[in-house]
Amino acid sequence: MRNVNESSREGSQEMKLLTRMAKSFVAGETIEEALQVVKKLKDKGIMSTMDILGESVEKQEDADKAVQGYLDLIAAISKSGIESHVSLKLTQMGLDIDDEYCYDNMIKIVGKAKEDDIFVRFDMEGSPHTQRTLDIFNRVRERYDNVGIVVQSMLFRTKKDIEELNKIKAKVRLCKGAYKEPADIAYKKMQDIRASFMEQAEMLFMDGIYPAIATHDEKLIQWTKDYATKNDIPLHDFEFQMLYGIRPKTLQKLAEEGYNSRVYVPFGTHWLPYYIRRLRERKENVWFLVKNLFKK
């Protein structure tokens, strides 16, 4: 039987590994630290979208702090002269507290971003929040045009969502999806998720506006390049997106080849709970992060 000291040592080692993993994918804890990362990326010809870590807020005071954090971030980006988008999650802005309260918060943020000519991307969370996120996005977009949305190819509903988003010429980021979803609403096999992703990407290329192809999957990256070439799609009409710390050399090569390339740059003090939640959510997330500690 292990003694308390042995268990403590093992727990400490596990925490050190988790900390190393998490910090490999987080651009610091402060706006200043994150802006330095954004500047270095820009010097390499790579664009950024900045995200203040945090989600699933249940208290209004915490949501108010998150809103102020984004207002401060927008002001800092504008003052720095370093071009960057921002990305955010609606549960961080009070979606689980009250939809109208969340909408009002988004109007504050997007309105300020519009004044400073900054684009705001609404991240997509788990399926319980999908429709409500789309509803608030559509309402905000009626007032401001400096916004975009994320959809997840693993969900059965996404094809229909893209059809509706294309009708209003919304700017869409397409990703596979990282949340654990039930089999009756989402594809489970990777071959099915990839097939869905390609079908939906084609819809965005055909009828959408400036699609963002967010993937680290080599097969989907190559498919996108081949599709763009075959269909004479100008390289400036879409962009590739990847997470900070994951396959940086691949994204650098894409940028050097002339593709618009953007990094999702998360930062903030909530990095540990954020990654613990992600690792617990799906076993695939654990393998994804471990694999990409060493993959370039």
Active-site amino acid positions: 123, 173
- Could you tell me if 212 and 174 are in contact, meaning their C-beta atoms sit under 8 angstroms apart? yes
CA 164 to chain centre: 21
Query: What is the rounded CA–CA span in Å between residue 74 and residue 119?
Result: 10
- Whether the CA torsion 157, 143, 34, 44 is positive or negative: it is positive
Cα 228 to its chain centre, rounded Å, is 23
Residues 6+ apart with CB under 8 A from 274: 22, 53, 54, 55, 266
Q: 210: phi > 0 → left, psi -120 to 50 → alpha, else beta; which?
A: left
Alpha-carbon distance of 252 to 60, in angstroms, equals: 40
